[in-house]
């Protein structure tokens, strides 16, 4: 018997795909495949089953599959779904961000051999270090009060990969800043996140010998949310797939490309899909939303996509509500009317099925205060969240979930927690060290099992026993340590999450007792019964004076929000936004305006 470290559970689920030709075609693909997946079309399920099938049928360790995701959170969700199929984090399965892949599987093994000018050992700069390097360089070059922000430089670096090409000088200021910034980091022996991908691209572009080595280890490369991943990754993918013989399985939706401001470009996905040597598969059936919401979302996008509801008979609510009293008034409407009504409308519906979506974190503050005042708990995901979801904070949350009862059902799995834990070490720990770490974690977790209990002492304990000693010795975790510190702060007296219990810490994403409060960007990939889009006023959605490209991206963002809903969408606006000199009456969002008009017209036609 050939040794397989995989489970056959996927076979039981694979039958579900039979009724959906797109999903089936993707599942059966043998060569390069691009899956163009509309909202709610079961793309994650397709991806997960395909990964399971490849692991079981197409590759055998040490050869494996690398699955690149947009964020740490997406990786976590995929891992969770794979675990449900009995697929553990195996050594020949990589699920992680493009940064993680470049660091661990491209730069660490090969950068030094290729003579790449990066400092060794590879050490990631913390946000504080990158911010201060940028500020110093930019102010030295352009003076105090210079107009650029770090993300301007970030986008410039991601878009202009070829430093010898003429367009590198298209913005001489940013080119100078970038060069100075990179030099400053190198002097400090550091690289930043963008460097990982930029150097990764340089390595695979300039050194042919790396291709077979990567192909040998990762004969299949899967990419989720391709539209959000930007030019450097696209170059790496092209090089590996079309020069290096790596088989590509890419999933994405250009309509949901909302990271153009960071250098992403949905057109890259379509470019891939149009290649002759790539099988392009469309997923048209929407399992999530009621038909009316699907129609509305296509109207909002302004493009006919031909998406079909899985269940044509389902009814939907789409409401446009003006609350002239501003955001506070909108919040009052949410708290007093919409939430109670939503809960009453469908038996079994919980607070966790309701999401409030907004564009800017400051809007979230207003709603957070109102919810708190009305006695609702909430989960908030945006830049103003008390701490960022990074590898370590997510892992602590999952440890909390395990201790708070997850151990009974194996959700999350202990083995997964252990392998993530040992994976925080930058080098590959040897067997004994890995066993020692696993033992320490297992005994800690088993000692801290508690159905009731507060999160704060748990976090203090896990930090003292495990996390702090590790972060003290691992320079690569410096930035994550900062987020762990914030987590503690938020849980401490006077913090934003004071009094949170263990279970809720573990269930920070998706708890039935918490309303979801998140930005439109953060809502990508999520779904809720009821979606309440707030602050839909001109000047916020879109911002004033957006360029055409920005306007298109704002529209896609609006589309993303709309397509999160299963049963109901509420659009809230006031007709004005607060300005420096008082209210600016610019009217409601043109997207809302347009949508309501088109919807009315379309439904009158029927």
Partner 1 sequence: MVGRVRISKIKIDNFANFSEFEIETGDNLVVVGENKVGKSNLIFALQLILDPGLSERDRQLGLEHFWDGLGDHKLGAVIEIVIELTDFEDDPRLLAHLGDCIVDPGPPMVSRLTYRFQPKADLDGHPQSMADYEYILFGGLDPDNAMRPRLRRMLPIDVLAALRDAEKDLATWRHSPLRPLIEGLTAGLDEDDRAAIQEAVDTAQNTLAERDEVQSVAQIISDRLQEMVGPAHATPISLGITPTRIDALLRALRLLIDGGARGIADASLGTANLIFLALKSLELDRLVGEGERDHTFLAVEEPEAHLHPHVQRLVYRHFLAEPDDEADEDEDAEGEGNEDPASATRLTTILTTHSPHIASIAPLRSLVLLRRDGEGDRTVGFSTANTPLTEADEADLQRYIDVTRGELFFARGVILVEGDAERFLVPAFAEALDIPLDHRGISVCSVGGTNFGPYVRLLGPDGLSIPYVVLTDRDPVEAGPPLARGRVQKLLEIVEPGPVYDDLADAAIFRRGERHNIFVNTRTLEPELFGAGLARRMGEILKSELPLRRAGREAIDGWVAAPATVNVDRLLSLIERVGKGRFAQRLAAGATERRCPAYIRAALERIRDAVA
> Which stretches of the chain bind partner 1, using CB under 8 A?
1-3, 30-32, 54, 58-63, 91, 105, 108-110, 112-114, 121, 207, 209-210, 212-217, 219-220, 245-247, 426-433
Look at residues 96, 122, 127, 98 and name the one whose alpha carbon lies nearest to residue 110. 122
Q: What are phi and psi of 81, to 5 degrees?
A: -70, -35
Q: From start to end of 441-547, where are the E strands?
A: 514-519, 528-533
How far is residue 229's CA from residue 214's CA, in Å, rounded to a whole number? 20
How far is residue 342's CA from residue 354's CA, in Å, rounded to a whole number? 8
CB of 113 to partner 1, least distance (A): 5
492 Cβ contact list (under 8 Å, min separation 6): 456, 498
How far is residue 503's CA from residue 501's CA, in Å, rounded to a whole number? 6
- DSSP state letters, 580-606: TTEEE---B-HHHHHHHHHHHHHHHH-
Report in angstroms the alpha-carbon separations of 419 from 2, 93, 154, 374, 429.
24, 12, 32, 41, 11
CB of 31 to partner 1, least distance (A): 6
CB of 2 to partner 1, least distance (A): 4
For partner 1, the closer of residues 55 and 400 by Cβ is: 55
For partner 1, the closer of residues 214 and 515 by Cβ is: 214
For partner 1, the closer of residues 240 and 530 by Cβ is: 240
For partner 1, the closer of residues 109 and 306 by Cβ is: 109
The answer to whether 122 and 103 have CB atoms below 8 angstroms apart is yes
Residues in the chain: 606
For partner 1, the closer of residues 113 and 373 by Cβ is: 113
For partner 1, the closer of residues 20 and 201 by Cβ is: 201
Report in angstroms the alpha-carbon separations of 378 from 191, 197, 371.
37, 35, 7
CB of 210 to partner 1, least distance (A): 8
Look at residues 481, 471, 514, 476 and name the one whose alpha carbon lies nearest to residue 388. 481
| Burial 11-50, CB ≥16 within 10 A → b, else e | eeebeebeebebbbbbbebeebbbbbbbbbbbbbbbbbbb
For partner 1, the closer of residues 81 and 247 by Cβ is: 247
For partner 1, the closer of residues 54 and 296 by Cβ is: 54
CB of 224 to partner 1, least distance (A): 18
For partner 1, the closer of residues 51 and 316 by Cβ is: 51
The answer to whether 275 and 530 have CB atoms below 8 angstroms apart is no
528-533 β-sheet, strand order = 317-322, 565-573, 528-533, 354-358, 514-519, 377-381
How far is residue 210's CA from residue 206's CA, in Å, rounded to a whole number? 9
For partner 1, the closer of residues 110 and 395 by Cβ is: 110
The answer to whether 300 and 602 have CB atoms below 8 angstroms apart is no
Residue 124 gets which letter from DSSP?
B
CB of 87 to partner 1, least distance (A): 17
Structure tokens given for 45:
């399920």
CB of 573 to partner 1, least distance (A): 50
CB of 62 to partner 1, least distance (A): 4
- Omega prior to 62 cis, within 30 of 0: yes
CB of 461 to partner 1, least distance (A): 25
Residue 543 gets which letter from DSSP?
B
Three-state secondary structure call for residue 5: coil
Q: Residue 534, exposed/middle/buried by CB under 10 A (0-12, 13-18, 19+)?
A: buried
Q: Residue 599, exposed/middle/buried by CB under 10 A (0-12, 13-18, 19+)?
A: middle
CB of 468 to partner 1, least distance (A): 18
For partner 1, the closer of residues 223 and 500 by Cβ is: 223
CB of 216 to partner 1, least distance (A): 3
CB of 246 to partner 1, least distance (A): 7
- Within a 10 A sphere around the Cβ of 583, how many other Cβ atoms? 12
Structure tokens given for 401:
């979930």
For partner 1, the closer of residues 3 and 117 by Cβ is: 3
CB of 250 to partner 1, least distance (A): 14
- Within a 10 A sphere around the Cβ of 275, how many other Cβ atoms? 15
For partner 1, the closer of residues 206 and 303 by Cβ is: 206
For partner 1, the closer of residues 91 and 324 by Cβ is: 91
CB of 112 to partner 1, least distance (A): 7
Q: Which long-range contacts (CB under 8 A, 24 or more apart) does 131-140 make?
A: 133/181, 133/184, 133/185, 133/188, 134/177, 134/181, 136/184, 137/177, 137/180, 137/181, 137/184, 138/177, 138/181, 140/180
For partner 1, the closer of residues 226 and 249 by Cβ is: 249
Structure tokens given for 376:
């609702």
CB of 371 to partner 1, least distance (A): 47
């Amino acid at each position: 018997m050939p040794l397989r470290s995989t489970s056959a559970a996927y076979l039981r689920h694979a039958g579900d795909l039979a009724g959906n030709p797109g999903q089936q075609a993707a599942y059966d693909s043998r060569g390069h495949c691009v899956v163009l997946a509309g909202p709610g079309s079961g793309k994650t399920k397709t991806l997960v089953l395909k990964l399971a099938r490849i692991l079981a049928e197409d590759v055998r360790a040490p050869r494996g599959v690398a699955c690149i995701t947009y964020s740490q959170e997406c990786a976590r969700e995929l891992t969770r779904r794979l675990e449900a199929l009995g697929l553990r984090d195996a050594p020949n399965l990589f699920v992680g961000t493009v940064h993680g892949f470049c660091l661990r599987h491209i730069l660490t093994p090969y950068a030094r051999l290729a003579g790449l000018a990066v400092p060794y050992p590879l050490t990631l700069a913390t946000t504080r270090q990158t911010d201060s390097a940028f500020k110093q360089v930019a102010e030295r070059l352009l003076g105090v009060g210079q107009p650029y922000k770090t993300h301007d430089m970030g986008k410039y670096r991601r878009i202009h990969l070829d430093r010898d090409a003429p367009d590198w000088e298209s913005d001489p200021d940013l080119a100078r800043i970038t060069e100075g910034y990179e030099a400053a980091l190198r002097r400090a022996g550091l690289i930043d996140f963008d460097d990982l991908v930029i150097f990764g691209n340089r390595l695979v572009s300039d050194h042919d010998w790396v291709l077979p080595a990567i192909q040998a280890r990762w004969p299949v490369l899967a990419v989720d949310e391709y539209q959000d991943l930007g030019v450097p990754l696209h170059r790496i993918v092209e090089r590996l797939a079309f020069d290096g013989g790596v088989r590509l399985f890419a999933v994405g939706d250009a309509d949901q490309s909302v990271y153009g401001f960071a250098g992403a470009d949905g057109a890259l996905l379509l470019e891939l899909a149009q290649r002759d040597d790539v099988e392009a598969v469309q997923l048209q059936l929407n399992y999530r939303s009621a038909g009316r919401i699907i129609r509305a979302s296509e109207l909002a996008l302004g493009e006919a996509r031909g998406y079909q509801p899985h269940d044509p008979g389902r009814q939907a609510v789409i409401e446009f509500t003006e609350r002239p009293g501003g955001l506070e008034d909108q919040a009052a409407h949410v708290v007093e009317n919409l939430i109670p009504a939503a809960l009453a409308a469908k038996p079994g519906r919980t607070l966790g099925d309701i999401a409030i979506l907004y564009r800017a974190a400051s809007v979230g503050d207003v709603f957070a205060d109102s919810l708190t005042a009305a006695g609702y708990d909430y989960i908030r995901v945006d830049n103003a969240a008390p701490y960022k979801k990074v590898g370590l904070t997510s892992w602590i949350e999952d440890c909390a979930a395990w201790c708070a009862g997850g151990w009974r059902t194996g959700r999350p799995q202990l083995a997964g927690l252990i392998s993530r834990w040992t994976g925080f070490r930058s080098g590959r720990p040897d067997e004994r060290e890995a066993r020692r770490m696993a033992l320490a974690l297992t005994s800690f977790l088993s000692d801290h099992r508690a159905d009731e209990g507060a999160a704060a002492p748990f976090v203090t304990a896990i930090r003292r026993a495990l996390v702090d000693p590790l972060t003290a010795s691992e320079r690569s975790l410096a930035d994550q340590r900062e987020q762990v510190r914030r987590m503690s702060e938020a849980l401490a007296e006077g913090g934003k999450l004071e009094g949170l219990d263990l279970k809720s810490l573990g269930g920070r994403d998706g708890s039935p007792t918490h309303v979801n409060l998140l930005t439109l960007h953060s809502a990508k990939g999520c779904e809720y019964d009821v979606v309440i889009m707030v602050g839909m006023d001109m000047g916020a959605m879109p911002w004033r004076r957006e360029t055409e490209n920005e306007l298109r991206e704002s529209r896609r963002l609006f589309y993303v929000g709309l397509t999160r809903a299963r049963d109901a969408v509420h659009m809230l606006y006031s007709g004005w936004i607060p300005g420096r000199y008082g209210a600016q009456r610019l009217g409601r969002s043109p997207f809302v305006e347009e949508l309501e008009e088109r919807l009315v017209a379309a439904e009158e036609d029927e």
